[in-house]
Amino acid sequence: DGTQESKRLLMNTFPALGLSVNADLTSSIPDSSSTATAIASGHKTASAVLGTDPEGKIAYKTIAETAKERGWKVGILSSVSLDHATPAAFYAHQKSRNSMYEISMELANSNFDFFNIFYLSHWRNNRYLNINIFPFVFLQRTESWIVER
């Protein structure tokens, strides 16, 4: 009907509104290492830091490490290299996300049960588009990875 009310976005009609701030300790535009560290451990850190405090002196325990300590099986499935900052935030603790050798060694020594890389592709406009997604972290309390319905 052309009134101002009819032009409101649907989301502006919801009974509640939420706000999220996505800054790390050193930047209002955080990188994947600091944001993945926050998701994996619940602690904010500086840009380019992976799984530790900004000085690299305190290693933050991740949800995946906690689950492993409690006897759960842990697996990480990612669409990027496993030593990339996003999946590595669940097992690595380095002052620099560029410490690729050290991150790879932490992967090998993590004692997690499963690691894998996969890519999703979607055919669009006569070409494939690779779709990157956040890594899945699997936590399983039984012996089998098969989930029964």
Residue tagged 């649907």 (tokens):
10
Q: In sequence order, which residues have a C-beta less than 8 Å from that of residue 99 and are 6 or more positions away?
A: 50
Exposure class string for 2-32: b at 16+ Cβ within 10 A, else e: eeeeeeeeeeeeeeeeeeeeeebeeeeebbb
Measured in degrees and rounded to the nearest 5, phi and psi for residue 122 equal -135, 130
SS3 52: strand
Checking phi first, is residue 37 left (phi over 0); if not, alpha (psi -120 to 50) or beta? Answer: alpha
Would residue 32 show up in a list of annotated catalytic residues for this protein? yes
Please pick, among 32, 34, 47, 78, the residue that the annotation labels catalytic: 32
Residue 74 CA to residue 66 CA, distance in Å, equals 10
Over its C-alpha atoms, the chain yields an Rg (Å, rounded) of 19
Give the residue numbers annotated as catalytic, written as ranges.
32
